[in-house]
Amino acid sequence: MGRKELSAVLTGVRTFEVREFDIPEIGDNDALLKVEMAGVCSSDVHRYNGGKVAFPIILGHEILGRIDEIGSSAMERFKVKKGDRVVVGSGIPCGACSYCLTGNYKYCQNPWRYGTGLTTDVPPSLWGGYSQYMYLHPNSVFHKISDDVPAEAAVLAKAVIGNGIQWLRVMGEAKIGDTVVIQGTGPQGLSATIAARESGAGNIIVTGLTRDAQRLALAREYGANHTVNVEEEDVVKFVRELTGGKMADVILDVTGNTRGMVTSVDLVKKQGIVVCAGTGTKSPTPLMMDKIVLNEIRLQGVFSSDSKVTPAAVKLIESRKYPIEKMVTHKFTLHQADEAVRAVAGEIEGMYPIKAVLVP
């Protein structure tokens, strides 16, 4: 009789069920992951509410686990063995489209992705991190990470610390001596604070709301020189006075609010860079295009990180230079998946997670 496992399955809009699945047999080219921890992303909230998702599906694209079984060819190709601890990328690249062939696999034309794009009706069903075990396709992308790192830090390697490095350092081009403003104190904003400090930024300013006191304190611990409560202080005035009117070299907006993007254009210097990770809303963002044109501001959109920055994220986490695990403030079981997603959505009074995770 084959082995069984449990997964939290999103069966419909705002409906989770814990279901039992067969653990698949592993061939020569694939592998099986025993999930250690999975991050709960704000994009999971979107899918929970019925956005861009097919049911039934196992969510969870921020994945940490150990190789439980692996085929001999896969072991040689991936340079991992049974028992190795790995972080798994969400994409399953085809390896043949123009994006994959140019190293941009996050744009792969293959729609298969862990935790977002495959239902449990697609064999062998285990395509997401809200599970005890997960199937690893032969085209998976994953990276080894040290056993000595707390799980709460390791699980953030790909989609949090990797994003911070990609968005602030690579796309934002932050460098030694720069003045950097990070708008937003969620995991992405906090990871970008670390990336700014590692890039040698001279002034790091992080903005938040009154309720973000714990997050702003953590931003200072991660290297922010200044934190600004935008409900009590005019951040544009603050940055103008701090820089002698020059304004900031790089702005990263991860507020998820259209107002944040409008403010970003006022915060950046002439020929500066504004990086936006999206507003999470279908509402249009009103921007004064003359400010962007006449000041030659570069507006850079971002949505994910490349596998090229994941090794840097892993090394940074393994260095233990920063208490990255402090971002994880709430843990839930598979049976609490509904509560976890609603907590991240801000629907549960008294719960305001910086980062929530599932521990299967």
At 273-319, the pLDDT tens digits run: 999 997 666 677 888 889 999 999 999 999 888 888 999 999 999 99
Interval 210-225: pLDDT, tens: 999 999 999 999 999 9
CA angle 41, 144, 34 (to 5 degrees): 65
CA distances from 288 to 250, 279, 293 (A): 18, 17, 9
In this predicted structure, the answer to whether residue 1 has a pLDDT above a threshold of 60 is: no
**How far, in whole angstroms, is CA 94 from its chain's centroid?**
22
Mean pLDDT of 247-276: 95
Query: By the 8 A CB rule, do 143 and 156 touch?
Result: no
Mean pLDDT for the chain overall: 95
For a pLDDT cut of 90, what percent of the chain falls above it? Answer: 87
- Show the domains of the chain with their CATH numbers: 4-149+320-358 (3.90.180.10), 162-301 (3.40.50.720)
pLDDT at position 48 is 97
Q: In this predicted structure, which of 36-40, 53-57, 260-264 has the lowest mean pLDDT?
A: 260-264
Interval 62-106: pLDDT, tens: 999 999 999 999 999 999 999 999 999 999 999 899 999 888 888
Q: Looking at residue 112, what DSSP letter applies?
A: -
Q: Give kind and range of the element (H or E) at residue 251.
A: strand 248-253
Q: What is the dihedral of CA 192, 197, 201, 206, to 10 degrees?
A: 50
pLDDT at position 188 is 96
Mean pLDDT of 11-28: 97
Q: Which residues pair with 330 in a beta bridge?
A: 356
| Tokens representing residue 263 in the block | 């403010």
Q: Which residues pair with 332 in a beta bridge?
A: 358
Mean pLDDT of 255-274: 93
Please state, in angstroms and rounded to a whole number, the distance separating the CA atoms of residues 294 and 290.
6
Mean pLDDT of 161-171: 97
